[in-house]
Structure formats: C-alpha cells, structure tokens
Structure 1
Amino acid sequence: MLMLAFVACNDEEKDQAVNEEVKKKKLPPVEKEYGFVLNDFEVVRDTIESGDSFGFIMDQNGVGHGKVYEISNKVKDTFNPARITAGKKYMILKAKDSAKTPQYFIYENDKINYTVVSIGDSIYAETRKRPVSIKRREVSGVIVSSLSEAMQTQGLSNLLVYELSNIYQWSIDFFKLQKGDQFKMVYHEKYIDDTVFVGVEKVDAAVFKHSDKPFYAFNYLSDTLTGKPSFYDEEAKALQSFFLKAPLDYSRISSRYTKRRFHPVQKRWKAHLGTDYAAAYNTPIVSTANGTVIASSYTSGNGNYVKIRHNSKYTTQYLHMTKRAVRNGQTVKQGDVIGYVGSTGLATGPHVCYRFWVNGRQVDPFRQNLPSAKHIEEELKDEYFAHIEPLKDELEQIPFKNI
C-alpha cells in the first residue's frame, strides 16, 4: 500500500510538472487580418514604391515570369496588376514550407477595400471590405482664422471641412468667413476595428452662423425614386442651387463680365463676356450644373474648352484648360470634373474663363435670378418638420467650443 501511494504521488508531481511546462510554452495569440489567420503563413508586409511593378514584386518573392503572366491574365477582370500605385500597402502570405511558396498577394485599394489575389495552385482575385463600424458624433467650433484651423485645433479631420463646404457651397462663400462665425454639426464617422478613422459616413444636421445669420441644413430623403437625400433648411427649402456659384476653388476673380475691357494679349479694347477665375495650374474645373457636353475642343482663342447645355434655356462654357476631362455628348452632373486650369489659347496666366448663356445670349451670371433646386413638396412638409425638430433641438444643445 505504501508503494502504491508513493507511485500515485510521484505521478501527480509529474503531471503538475508537465502542466507547468505547458504554461511556460504558451501558444502565441491568434493573429487575424484580411480574413486570414496569419499564424499559418510566413508574412511579408511592404509598400509599393515608385517604379515597382507587380512582376518585380513577384520576382523578389520567388514567383517566375511565366507564373506572373498566368496570374495577370486570369485576374485582369478583377485586379489589373499594371495599375498598382506607389504608396499603397500590400502583403504576401507564404506557405510555411522549406520553399516558402507565395500563396496570396493582398493589395490595399484604400483603407476599407482590398483585393486578395490567390497566386498558389488556384489562381483568382476578389475584392473584399474590412468590417466598418459607425459612430455618431457632435462637433462645434468658432472661426478664428479659418474653418480648417477651427477643426484642427480640436483634432478633427479635414474631411469635415469638405463636408461643410459641400453642404453650404450654394449659400456661403467660404473665402469670406469672418472671425466669430460659428458652426455645429451632427454626423456619423466610419471606423475600422472601432479605432481607425476612415471617413465620414453622413451628416444628419448642421447650422453655420455666418455674419450673425444662421444657416441650417438637414439631411432628408424627399425623392424615394433616386434614393438620394438632399439638404434643406428649417423652412423646407433646398440648399442646393441649380447652379454652383463658381466652377472651381479659386484664389480670386481676375476679370469680370464687362462690355469693355483692354485685352491683355490682343492689346485692344473689346467686350469680355465671361468671368475669369484665377487659380493654380491643374486645379480641377467642375460643371456648375447637370447637363450634356455639346463641345469639347480647342481653338486658338479659347484654347482647350468645354461647353455644356443644361436645358433649353441655360448653357455654360469653360475656357483655357490645360486639358479636358470629358468628351462631346457626355452627360455630366453638377460638380463633375470636366477639365483642369491652364493658360491655353489667348491667356496670360492660369485661369478659367467661365461663360454663361441664357436663351442663346451671353450674360453675367452674377446678375441672373437663377433657379434653385426643388423644395420639399407641400404634402411632405409636416413629415419633414417632424423629422428635423429633434435634430434642431440637438443642435441647440451642443455647446460652442473655442469661444
């Protein structure tokens, strides 16, 4: 009996020692990314550099030219290897064998979307998305020098500057903001892994107090056919105008519409039936309203130019582009890029000459009573006012910062 007890105790001590050894050799935590368990692979992480090609990257990782050609042909409908961009991140997953054979090439298209290219025995490509979570936020600020500065002092993204500028582009000139102007906004942010900010999902409501006048904006879906919401004010009027105030982000108006101007190139007095917006070379030029391109061409006077018919009444033209981005007959929407600022034709420096026709006659757009977008229908107003009431109350409760 004593011998059995001794053996049993000895076995228990051995088991305890084994358990202690297992604890010491604790397995590493499972690491997952892009839908793969990275522990199962040899992992190569890198960034596309200028001059890199898909073939070069594959060659550096042991994939021969013949296999690269086969991969490129089989995945070209989903992933074009010729269009990989410098600065983009990628990952290569290799088998944990003696040859460390590459199995997958993963290319980050942006922070959310990525492409998985299977480069092992089975060759295919598919685009996937990272899981994104949405967080609702409130923000406010007071202008001291600029909207960007007001955002940056709070550690906020410049994407919010874009959102506000986009919402109020028909009603507020952001080049003329004043010290003391105020803003509040309720919006939704997108996050990866609940920590990495990747953009703004949407804005629910905003108010911008400019020159002591409040400008409200409420996001509302009034057109269920298109499924696209628009912004309206507290009176159910659309913020969007039929025409943008300008065809680009400009530094200054260098010459206005006039019947008499001394031409800087031709050196003679003549009518200038357009508005010149000075801006840096290659600044994007956008269509000021929806329409159809009726001319995308070049003349010695206009240089590269685009002309757009918006309806039977209104037509616009954009001159002196360094290059055009649309073709004749193409349909464009308000805000679409149609070309880039240049100085082609009779021009002394980079600018766009913006010309405006009403019923076939060139006019000064600043003197026109232009139509606005469609307001909320009368039968929908009660529903709209019920929708914005809690949002307006929420805006009122947000305290101003930087005062």
Structure 2
Amino acid sequence: MALKIAVLKETAPGETRVSATPETVKKFAALGATVAVESGAGLTASISDADYAAAGAAIGDRAATLAGADIILGIQGADPTGLAGANPGAWIVAGLAPFAERARVDAYAAAGYEALAMEFMPRITRAQSMDILSSQSNLAGYKAVLLAAAEYGRAFPMMMTAAGTVSAAKAFVMGVGVAGLQAIATARRLGAQVSATDVRSATKEQIQSLGAKPIFVESVKGIEGEGSGGYATEMSDEYQKAQAELVSAHIAKQDIVITTALIPGRPAPRLISDAQIATMRAGSVIVDLAAESGGNVEGVVAGETIVKHGVKIIGAKNIAATMAADSSALFARNLFNFLSAFWDKEAGKPVLDAEIGDAIRLTQGGKVVNPRLLG
C-alpha cells in the first residue's frame, strides 16, 4: 500500500500558511505517495480545495485526512490529541518549537508518534534546501522593511523636488543572518542609507557586498562570535560593553532600526534599551523580529505596535504568515526537499540517515530522544 501523507489545516491563531501546495502534491505523487488534504487547509494561502484536487490530492474532513496517515505535514505542530486515525509511529513533520512547546513534544512521545522538528535541521550544505528557518526568515526580513516603511511618516529615498529636497531615511539592521541580509537589500532598494552590525566579524564583507555600511567594534580583538550552525553566540562582558557604546551613538542618528538576533533555545538577546530608544528622534520606527522570543528591544510587545519616547516599536509576530502564499510555497518545498532526499524507492518511503535524522528527531519508540532536549 502506498505511503499516505496528510496535510492538515493549521489551527494556531493567526496562522495562514499551509504545509503543501499543488506543486508539492504532484511531486509527492510522482514518488509514489498518496496525499490527503484537509478541506480548507489552503484557503488562507490562496489555494482552493479544487487546486489540490486537480493536483491529485484527496480532499476530506480532518478524520478522513488522518485515517491511515503515515506522515503528517504541518507548519506548526498539530495538537497530539487531535491526530486520531493516523498510523502508529506516524511521522509528524513540521516546525515544532521544541523548547517552547516541550509538553507537546512529551505528548507526541506518549502517543507513539515520531516527531521531526524542521527547525532543528543542521546548517550544512546538503540541507540548505530543507531549511525552513532560512526560507521563512528571508521573507520576514523583506516584510520587516515594508512594515517600517508603512509606519514611518517620511519617505525612504532622497527626493529632489521643486519644493525642496527630502533626505533619505537612515536604516540600521542589527543581526546579519538571512533575515538581516534581506532587510539590508530591501531597505537599499527603497532608497534608504543602510548600515548594519552583527557579533560575527565574518558578516562585515556580506554587509559591504550589499552596499551597506558595517558598524563593528574594532577595539576588542579576537572575538568572532560564530557559534555552531552559523548562529551567533553570546559575547563577553567586555565586548558587550564596547558594542553597547558604539551602537548607542549610532542608534541616536537612525530613523529605522530592524533587529533580528536570536539564540536557539534561549531568550532573544537584548540589543536596545529603553534609554537608547529615548535618544532616537520622534517618528522613528523599530521592528523587532525577535519579539516572540522575548525581544531584542526593551519593552517590545509581541504582535503589537507601541510608542515609547515618540518611537514606534513593532513587535513582529509570525511575520511570514502575513505573506501566506509565498511563505507556504517555500515551506512546502522545504518539506518536499527533505522527504524526497531520503526517499527509498524499494521501501516506498523516506529512510533517514544519522546526520540529519538524529538532529531533527525529537521522539521515537515512545520516548523523547533528541539530545538537545535531554540536557
């Protein structure tokens, strides 16, 4: 019997994305799998049930979609109590927020499911096409600049008019990962004067390659800031002090600040204090892409826009969901790229290797097995 893949309608508040598209449904079918899609799963991402049916998917209610499912795809992890009918040991492949949702991980284990957390995908060359964090962060960095531009009461580019000259906005990006690089590029396209900083010295050339000005501490040597998997690490007290002094002087001159710094499994590092916000001119805008993880900005509220000292602070929350069609397409390709890379034709299903399988597998055989959760 062909392996069955279930695509569920997301139930988390505000989640508009879907974990498969007609494109990936066709590709899964070409591998020999059958795909069942819960009715209405793609509507918020501009994909109709008819679109899925035309691609070869079976459309039904949740019970019919889950019945006999071997693999359950999702954007965010489904409630373990709502998966009745799936086969014993079924894979749950999604963004599972393992640290924030540990109780849910334990419940997956207790129910006998094999939970695979896509955000634990190793940052290695062969897994780049499977990396949901990168694909979603790319869009988040782009949208962050658009949000800032919408809230900013002035123009981004310099404009020379008969009535006088409009100065270009000054934009500062803090954290030069995937989201930060896209934010730099987008702000530059909109005509802003862009600068950026990061604790990883290797990003300086990347910043310059996009036409932005790097803002780095030069007085403290020997601190590279490169952690495992391409993430930043926390810096020494000496570096943090020097960084704070440099950034404070720079922030006071900026119109737009976008913060993107995250440390996996830990609260987001504080980059901007209330005192620093107070030095910015009224009408400036800060977009905090780490708001859901505690925030890079003091006082930020996830999902809300607040005003402090005359500065608008946008607490971005699930920003990829505001671009559901594109973010779903990329996420769905990440999932297909992952499963197809390990597809065993003889077995008619994916068979994971140790390097990637052990990295992303949270539960197996009724137990939590991921070392990062067993600490």
Tell me the TM-score normalised to structure 2 length: 0.25
Answer 1 or 2: higher relative contact order, Cα 8 Å, separation at least 6: 2
Return the index of the structure with the highest Cα Rg: 1
Tell me the TM-score normalised to structure 1 length: 0.24
Higher strand share: 1
Higher helix share: 2
